[in-house]
Amino acid sequence: MRRWQRCLFVSSLLFVGCGGAATPELQLVEDAAEAIGSLRAVRETTTLVIEGQGRTYRLGQNKSPRADLPYYEVENYRLQIDFANKRWRLRQDRTSTFLTGSPVYGVRQIYGLDGDVAYDAQGEHTVRAPERVAAGRWAEMYFNPIGIVLLALDETSTVSNLREEEGQQVVDVAAANGTWFTLFVDGETGLPSKVMSSAYHPNLGDVAIETFFEDYAETGGLGGFQTRLTLPRSYTTNLDRFRVSEYRVSTNPNGPLDDLTAPADARSAAPSVATVTVEVEEVASGVWYLTGQSHHSVLVEFEEYLVLVEAPYSEARTLAVLARVRELQPDKPLQYVINTHHHFDHSAGIRTVVSEGLTVVTHELNRSFFQDIVARQHSIVQDALARNPQPLTIETVTGDETYELTDGRRTLQIYRIGDDPHCDGILMAYLPRERILIEADAYSPTSREAPFAEVLLRNIEDRGLRVDTILPIHGGVSGLEDLESAARTARGPAD
């Protein structure tokens, strides 16, 4: 309606025809539709079935902060989109190319969106995802050439700011719900080359997400119309500076869809909200195991101050752990937080503890990573550090040297776990007097597999540590015999 009115208005004043788009911005979008096939054919495209194979990468799980991300090989990728009903579903089969010490879910992955219901298949069940996930999935519907063109042509969207960047024609597309996208159109072919949007990531803050469309080729004709569409066979997605997925695909526009309504158990559920629980177990005098959710912490008391090993999982969890620490020891300051390794699930609370002025202890390999994490912009969601900016105070463990905190009565030693295939510079903490070892991911009793148990055992032996009790960041109180048996199982039967 709006464009028609605008066109009438212009033509009555200037006597120009109504054949073209109302603005140069919309003209670019309409030209892109013509390059894909025709404006009419794109408008008539109500569904897409995109199938192929590729790779998905595990963000925040690289072996060192600068290393490439580990990835899954993906087969049977099938993305079905129903634009009119705002529904999509993705199914893919993933094979990991890396070892993991944490629980791994099934090979087949199914998740999707139905209106404002985002859902994830978990075995026989489907769970409803949090609202933040649903908002992200709504945007994902438009990270393909047809989707972004349809959104730009939608009367409720605003298309503005035509410009040229590196040989590309660029416009901003604002959807009615306030979500912004940037559409890049190739200067030579007139085809969409990239869609970009911004998003919030708890560890990285404000991030750009961009999907590149490459290797365009003609697809089959549309049902009813004989127009063939020219669509990409390669999709590559980056989040911030990280490659997160790449697919080789073929596309069936207006192809038949499965029933994409959200399964009943997800539809009837409220959006999931993480429940933060912190349970306390005093394992030795002045040593508390702070458990709950999937990632635990350990509090160690010294004469003058307190030390926390690990601030994991999320800001909410870390805030709850810090509150519990204050309840347990209201008169003693918490001074140090030991970070075992940089993986996002183990470093999610680092910005939180920095906002409270605590000193972070980690391996020297992580120094620039944490400097970056602390400096990053968090404006889309203001986290604790954005609300209360503080400088990073960091102390690092050098190479394989021992880092020690002691007051003469109690000693806490921090060692690097050497040759750990999971992560370079991953640390373990040891209380020699109490014979307690604290470690993350090297041995998780809840995990079905323990591929790094042998490496941990070797490190304990090489260091000559006398361990009675293991406090894992994942799992529960364990002992050296458990670790030894896990190492034997991982090694397989002797021949």
Applying CB under 5 A, the residues found at the interface with Zn ion are: 343, 441
Residue with smaller CB distance to Zn ion, 341 or 376: 341
Residue with smaller CB distance to Zn ion, 194 or 346: 346
> Shortest gap between Cβ of 230 and Zn ion (angstroms)?
43
Residue with smaller CB distance to Zn ion, 324 or 342: 342
Pair 231, 251: CB distance under 8 Å: yes
CA atoms within 13 A on the CB side of 199: 20
> Shortest gap between Cβ of 399 and Zn ion (angstroms)?
20
Residue with smaller CB distance to Zn ion, 128 or 343: 343
> Shortest gap between Cβ of 120 and Zn ion (angstroms)?
22
Pair 153, 30: CB distance under 8 Å: yes
Q: Which residues contact 70 (CB under 8 A, 6 or more apart)?
A: 57, 58, 61, 62, 63, 96, 97, 98
Question: Regarding beta strands 287-291 and 279-284, do their DSSP bridges make them parallel or antiparallel, or are they unpaired?
Answer: antiparallel
Burial pattern 437-467, b for ≥16 Cβ within 10 A else e, equals bbbbbbbbbebebbbbbbbbbebbeebebeb
Q: Which residues contact 214 (CB under 8 A, 6 or more apart)?
A: 193, 232, 233, 234, 236
Residue with smaller CB distance to Zn ion, 140 or 310: 310
Q: How many whole angstroms from its chain centre is CA 448?
A: 24
Q: Is the dihedral of CA 474, 356, 306, 288 positive or negative?
A: negative
> Shortest gap between Cβ of 467 and Zn ion (angstroms)?
21
> Shortest gap between Cβ of 400 and Zn ion (angstroms)?
19
> Shortest gap between Cβ of 341 and Zn ion (angstroms)?
6
> Shortest gap between Cβ of 451 and Zn ion (angstroms)?
12
Residue with smaller CB distance to Zn ion, 58 or 86: 58
Query: Sheet containing 334-338: which strands, arranged edge to edge?
Result: 279-284, 287-291, 297-301, 306-309, 334-338, 359-363, 393-397
Residue with smaller CB distance to Zn ion, 25 or 441: 441
> Smallest Cα–Cα separation from 450: which of 483, 417, 477?
483
- AA letter at 374: V
Minimal CB distance residue for Zn ion: 343
Residue with smaller CB distance to Zn ion, 262 or 442: 442
> Smallest Cα–Cα separation from 338: which of 315, 363, 308?
308
Residue with smaller CB distance to Zn ion, 175 or 311: 311
> Shortest gap between Cβ of 340 and Zn ion (angstroms)?
8
Under DSSP, the state recorded for 475 is S
> Shortest gap between Cβ of 418 and Zn ion (angstroms)?
16
Please give the C-alpha separations between residue 148 and each of 134, 140, 175, 238, 300, in angstroms, as whole numbers.
Answer: 18, 10, 10, 17, 53
